[in-house]
Amino acid sequence: MTLAMSYDPSTGQLRNEDGADRLVALIYHQKFPSHVESRRGIRLVLSELERSKISQRTKDTLPTPERIETTVRNVNWVLQYWTCAPAPDPLDDAYGYRAIRGRAQYLDLVA
């Protein structure tokens, strides 16, 4: 249900904010049920995980909220690609990447 609520059928894509704050937040809630109370709001979920008793090694691998939002954008490119229509430019900011000096960079790392 959360996936359906995060998906916009008119664009064939996830809504960026809902993808992070609903869908990814719920995935972390389900992966770490004894450490995460929240089901919505990726920043709150990540904050709960940082304060939890999970191992430091696991905490060190948690993505930033910005990286999660960038990943949701990239998921949208994949969804567009699989429509079999001409694929959009994968280095468009809308899809989470930008070309910097000829190399693809995650948008959240571009200053």
Give the tens place of pLDDT for each residue, 6-58: 999 999 999 999 999 999 999 999 999 999 999 889 999 999 999 999 999 99
Domain count, the chain: 1
Note down the domain range covering 61.
2-109
Backbone angles phi, psi at 53, to 5 degrees: -95, 20
Arithmetic mean of pLDDT, 81-94: 91
The model's pTM is: 0.88
